[in-house]
């Protein structure tokens, strides 16, 4: 597959010019190594999953680092967390030298512990997610955004099956003491059937015979490794009694379809999961755009106890707030804008913009307005909508 430019490239280059080290995290197989080796073709490269390399690190970490020319890519560094202290020492010997170390890791929690303890102030931390629709025209609801899945559609089902198996065997075992991998696999499938719903841990625990603490731990594993997106409720009270539990989405729509047994566009169109999968797709696109800009994730939803619900809320600029409804249907009706208008009228502290994000049919012109005060955009227009200064 030819190299696909990534939206984060500009931010990544700027970070390498401004910090001694850059740490690039993200889900396994999201393209971290490909990106770094493309942007820094002359960098020394070491994969810290290679047994011989790990043995050298553990036997003599100082000599291992001394032999590397700068910049150096240390791939999957969570496998050698002891290196953080030595990298810090190298940086502190020459703190004015920038872009010396480019580190990647797939398990964000363990990696971040090392950063917090050893690299604070010395490293820029960026997050790379799978392809967005603005990066590749091959990204779709059915395919998702993992580079290998979109590159080889004929092998997509096999790729996802292998990805789940590899993920269970490597990341899950190394992050948490999950003894029953078969039950954990059933848990992932059950969670896929709850994508887009408000998180109910009891509803997840009962069919599997698990405790609430176990469900909490397993959800943490999935969130840590970028497999799910947890969307909290919007934190401000507009004089309403609010639902306080978060929503949960499978982060990649292609993976969600695989877990739900959806293998074709025809099956997807007829599936009762089409709407929730599309809502998760929109949420993931927003998360990808924020990560590519080097910004922290700011993504919420709104629901009160009277039934008023808006799918997604995104802070935008100074006191700005985007209110977003996602509609997988190609046909939009003015009544679908009503929740956005009701919530917009209730908000006084923010300048709001109400938008319906839809999934247009190929060849149809994009909509621009649904009714007064509510615009409509294609999911392909999210990048423009969320650009700095918009909203």
Instruction: State pTM to two decimals.
Output: 0.92
Hey, which of 211-215, 315-319, 378-382 has the most confident mean pLDDT?
Answer: 211-215
Per DSSP, 100 falls in state -
User: Which tens digits make up the pLDDT trace of 217-242?
Assistant: 899 889 988 899 999 998 766 656 67
**What's the pLDDT at 209?**
94
Separation CA 292–CA 7 (nearest Å): 6
Q: Which homologous superfamily does the CATH classification assign to the domain defined by 9-127?
A: P-loop containing nucleotide triphosphate hydrolases (3.40.50.300)
User: Which tens digits make up the pLDDT trace of 120-151?
Assistant: 788 999 999 999 999 999 999 999 999 999 99
Per-residue pLDDT at 391 exceeds 50: no
Q: Say which CATH architecture domain 147-283 belongs to.
A: Orthogonal Bundle (1.10)
Q: What stretch of H or E contains 22? A: strand 21-25
Domain ranges in the chain are 9-127, 147-283, 300-385
Per-residue pLDDT at 155 exceeds 90: yes
Residue 165: what are its φ and ψ, rounded to 5°?
-65, -45
Q: Average pLDDT in the 76-105 region? A: 91
Confirm if 204 and 191 have CB atoms less than 8 A apart.
yes
Per-residue pLDDT at 170 exceeds 80: no
């Amino acid at each position: 597959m030819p190299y696909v430019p990534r939206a984060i490239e500009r931010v990544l280059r700027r970070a390498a010019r401004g910090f001694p080290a850059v740490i690039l995290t993200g889900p396994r197989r999201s393209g971290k190594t490909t990106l770094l080796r493309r942007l820094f073709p002359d960098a020394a490269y070491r994969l810290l999953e290679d047994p011989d390399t790990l043995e050298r690190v553990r036997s003599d970490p100082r000599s291992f680092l001394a032999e590397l020319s700068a910049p150096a890519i240390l791939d999957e560094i969570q496998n050698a967390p002891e290196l953080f202290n030595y990298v810090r020492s190298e940086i502190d010997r020459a703190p004015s030298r920038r872009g010396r170390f480019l580190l990647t890791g797939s398990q964000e929690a363990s990696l971040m512990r090392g950063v917090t303890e050893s690299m604070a102030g010395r490293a820029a931390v960026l997050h790379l997610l799978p392809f967005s629709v603005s990066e590749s025209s091959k990204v779709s609801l059915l395919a998702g955004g993992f580079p290998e899945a979109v590159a080889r559609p004929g092998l997509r089902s096999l790729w996802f099956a292998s990805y789940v198996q590899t993920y269970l065997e490597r990341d899950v075992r190394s992050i948490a003491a999950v003894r029953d991998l078969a039950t954990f696999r059933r848990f992932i499938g059950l969670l896929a059937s709850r994508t887009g719903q408000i998180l109910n841990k009891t509803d997840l625990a009962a069919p599997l015979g698990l405790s609430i603490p176990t469900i909490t731990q397993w959800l943490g594993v999935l969130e840590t490794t970028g497999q799910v997106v947890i969307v909290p409720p919007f934190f401000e009270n507009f004089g309403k009694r609010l639902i306080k539990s978060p929503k949960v989405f499978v982060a990649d729509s292609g993976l969600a379809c695989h877990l739900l047994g959806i293998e074709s566009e025809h099956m997807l169109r007829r599936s009762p999961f089409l709407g929730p999968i599309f809502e998760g797709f929109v949420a993931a696109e927003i998360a990808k755009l924020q990560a590519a800009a080097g910004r922290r994730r700011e993504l919420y939803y709104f629901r009160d106890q009277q039934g008023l619900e808006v799918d997604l809320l995104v802070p935008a600029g100074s006191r700005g707030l985007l209110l977003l409804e996602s509609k997988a249907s190609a046909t939009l009706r003015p009544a679908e804008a009503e929740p956005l208008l009701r919530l917009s009228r209730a908000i006084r502290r923010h300048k709001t913009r109400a938008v319906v994000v839809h999934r247009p049919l190929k060849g149809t012109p994009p909509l621009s307005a649904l009714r007064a005060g509510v615009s409509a955009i294609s999911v392909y227009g999210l990048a423009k909508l969320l650009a700095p200064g918009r909203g």
